[in-house]
Amino acid sequence: MNDVFTHYWYPIIAAFHQGKSALPAHLGLSCDDYYQLTERVGLLPIATHALPQYAALSLRQELIGMRDDELGELTQLLTEHLDTRKPYAEQMAQVLANASMGSQHLWRDLGMPERPRLSQLFHDYFPTLHALNNHNMRWKRFLYRQLCESGGDYVCRSPSCETCTSYEECFGEER
């Protein structure tokens, strides 16, 4: 098994430091968790106000704050499927929920180098969700579909993915 710190946390934190993610200040974590994780992966913690993308982070935090209920529902969904034996498992659920607030594919909003690594992250941290995504739907769409099916206020566009006119958007090749 890959070391979760080098395989998942390092690229997430490095991308955040470089302004290549849609994560809010401190990855959406408490300052303490952010600093501990950053040091654990061997990076120097950077104060949010010292990051070049500080203005964008502040705006992102404000926008996420307006979607607080949605963030809570995503965090709860992820937490329900979490393998709590993994290091910093609850923090991963928080980070993924915050990244889901971004406007691109989840792997990009998270700062991962490619989608297969995000799928492996779901396999390792959220094994029951990974198993439910048996048609390899894009992860952000899959999460929102789960919220929709659990009775949330989210639009489920089609009762059957196979008949949906947006099928390629969910399952087609990413560009």
pLDDT by residue, tens only, the chain of 175 residues: 469 999 999 999 999 988 899 998 889 999 899 999 999 999 987 776 666 666 676 667 777 777 888 899 999 999 999 999 999 999 999 999 999 999 899 999 999 999 999 999 999 999 999 999 998 899 999 999 899 888 766 555 544 556 566 666 666 666 5
Q: What is the pLDDT, as a whole number, of residue 19?
A: 87
pLDDT of residue 148: 87
- pLDDT for the residue numbered 105: 93
CA of 108: how far to CAs of 1, 96, 163, in Å?
23, 11, 28
pTM, entire model: 0.83
Instruction: List, in order, residues 6 or more apart from 73 with CB less than 8 Å away.
Output: 147, 152
